Chain A
Amino acid sequence: MDIKELYQEIILDHGKNPRNKNIFKDFNKDAKGHNPLCGDKVHIFLKLNNEMKLENISFEGEGCAISMASASIMTEIIKGKEFNVAKKIQEDFLNMIKEGSKLSLNSLSDSENTTMMSLSGVKRFPMRVKCATLAWHTFIEAVEGNKKIVNTEN
């Protein structure tokens, strides 16, 4: 396998031009994630309405191309979706990255599928898995958690 399978065009594009990388005013949930080994940092902001729909989501942070692209891709895909659906997508994503399983959801559009799949190459780079999963764990923490800071080391 080639290193280009890790650094696919979609990832490089999201890494260089991250989507939803800002802070919007009326967020009502947020959480920070930190990967002390690499120094990757993300801060997820979201607006969850009464029907548990993710009206808006954004992130701030710094880190490697993989961590930034993954955060960008996540916000793009789950924005506007019900939290329950987004949570399923998160689980599906983690399974793909950690276990190498195929994405199983049929609720995603073809292009969403392709975008998510672009990160599947990370599976072969165990040291980089945490970079790819940081934003996704932090997103769940923002909605369900109470400790507010996700640390990949504990």
Chain B
Amino acid sequence: MDTKVIKSKFPIFQNKINGKQLIYLDSANSSQKPKTVIDRISKFYSKEFSNIGRSVHSLAVIATNRFEETRDLVKKFINAKSREEVIFTKNATEAINLVASTYGEKFINKGDEILITELEHHANYVPWHFIRQRKGAIIKFAECNDKGEVDIDEIKKLITNKTKIIAITHLSNVTGAIMPVKKIVDLANEKKIPVLVDGCQGAPHLEIDMQKLGCDFYAISCHKMYGPTGVGILYAKKKWLDILPPYQGGGGMIEEVKKDNITFPGSPTKFEAGTLQTAEVVGFSESIKFIEGVGIKNIMQHEREILEYGLEEIRKNNSVRIIGDPKNRGSIISFTIKGIHPHDIATILDEDGVAIRAGHHCCQILHKKMGIAASARASLGIYNTKEDIDVLKNSIKKCNKIFNN
């Protein structure tokens, strides 16, 4: 794989940041976009735009077709059984809220248990907290060990007859730990407990095949997959979509509206209320083509190489502590430097054109567990190279020098 060619497909890298070449190590937050995605949105607005699914004029037909073609692409990409199992949302957060709200409303009652882990992003905790409040449910947290991973036994021991859903991340956005989703699903199946997977970090970096994973729900944020902001995907097994109530009400999601009664169509229409982020969804079709063009296996192999090089190089610096050491790790390196606050690290790195994230990364529970308030995080994408790691490494040394530690 020629990373020079890959990088050249992303216009952002033609810009200088603080007079320096951009070293983008914040893809877990949001990835950069290839030109094909940017151009697709522009072309859609220039030549094909109209609201979808509502009018009969020619543009409406074209726009609707482009939108629905993207649904078909997603269906194939994640290997869903049918296109009805693919629902567009505004991001993964909304996808998880949709499930928590509708499944929670119908199936979770007082004293019932929601099983999550200490690794979860706030997006996979706060929506369940609302259900806890609304229904008097209980949230149980499977413990994360000092390697920053959750052992499947920790999940197993918390499952009871009251467990109504297991909601886990696919890949931790802090420690990079990859969860054994298939094994957890098998475990849950024995007790007929549905499993929701927060696939925010899984989808851009791993092979995601819904038939192999077997989970009931899978949430995706397309902006982390080289796609536009404003688009998320909820995959859900059809058996759930058939019985869950609608999430938001409004135009587009109704069958018949009378003064005394309203009926709803099937999925996905039932769950897609109001005018959608049409151009962005169409733009996302180019992200899928981009990922498939490079090949997810190649992406995984390339990121693994850079990750291993990065871990090795950064470990050489004795003042750096890398957060977690999971056996099975995705493209994320969170770290602290002795005596330097992560925000100071981020500012100093930024001066060298190195973009990382500093803070708790929406995982306060995990940071507390690790005994820190915040960390610095370098996260990889397909465009990163060993040279990027070298710049990062030298920039970290600069932090040491400025703070004299």
Complex: A16 Cα to B403 Cα, angstroms: 9
Provide the bound-state CA to CA distance between A65 and B344, in Å: 7
Q: Across the interface, which residues of B come within 8 angstroms of A128, CB to CB?
A: 343, 347
**Chain A residues with Cβ under 8 A from B344's Cβ?**
7, 64-66
Q: Is B304 an interface residue (CB 8 A)?
A: no
Going nearest first, the 10 A-B pairs with the smallest beta carbon separation are A64-B341, A64-B343, A3-B351, A65-B344, A64-B344, A7-B402, A39-B373, A39-B374, A38-B343, A3-B348
Pairwise interchain contact B402-A4, C-beta atoms closer than 8 A? yes
6 pairs, CB–CB < 8 Å, chain A vs chain B: A3-B398, A7-B348, A38-B359, A65-B344, A65-B403, A66-B344
Which chain A residues lie closer than 8 Å to B404 at the CB level?
12
Cβ A63 vs Cβ B341 within 8 A: yes
Report yes or no: A12 in contact with B341, Cβ–Cβ below 8 A.
no
Q: How many residues from B make CB contacts under 8 Å with A? A: 17
**Interface core residue of B339, B347, B402, B404 (most chain A CB under 10 Å):** B347
Interface size of A by CB at 8 A reads 18
Of the candidates A16, A39, A63, A125, the one whose C-beta lies within 8 Å of that of B347 is A125
- List residues of A whose CB falls within 8 A of some B CB: 3-4, 6-7, 12, 16, 37-39, 62-66, 125, 127-128, 131
- Min C-beta distance of A2 to chain B, whole Å: 8
Interface pair A65/B341, CB less than 8 Å apart: yes
Is B73 on the interface with A (CB-CB < 8 A)? no
For A63, the chain B residues whose CB sits under 8 A away are 341, 343
Q: Give the residues in chain B near A62, CB-CB below 8 Å.
A: 373
Give every chain A residue within 8 A of B342 (Cβ-Cβ).
64
For A3, the chain B residues whose CB sits under 8 A away are 347-348, 351, 398, 402
Enumerate B349-405 residues with CB–CB distance to A below 8 Å: 351, 359-360, 373-374, 398, 402-404
- Give Cα A122 to B348, complex, Å: 13
Tell me whether B340 is interfacial, beta carbon within 8 Å: yes
Inter-chain contact A39/B402, CB cutoff 8 Å: no
Hey, which chain A residues are within 8 Å of B348, CB to CB?
Answer: 3, 7
Closest Cβ neighbor of B358 among chain A residues: A38
Residues of chain A contacted by B351 (CB below 8 angstroms) = 3
Residues from chain B with Cβ under 8 Å of A6 in the complex: 347
**B341 lies within 8 A of A37 (CB):** no
Say yes or no: A65 contacts B340, CB within 8 Å: yes
Complex: A68 Cα to B347 Cα, angstroms: 16
Q: How far is the CB of B153 from chain A (nearest CB, A)?
A: 32
Minimum C-beta distance from B145 to chain A (A): 24
User: Which residue of chain A is the closest to B346 with respect to CB atoms?
Assistant: A127
Contacts of B341 in A (CB 8 A): 63-65
A131–B351 alpha-carbon span in the complex (Å): 18
Most buried by B among A3, A6, A12, A66: A3
Can you name 6 extra interface pairs (CB under 8 A) apart from A3-B351, A38-B359?
A: A7-B344, A38-B343, A39-B373, A65-B341, A65-B403, A66-B344
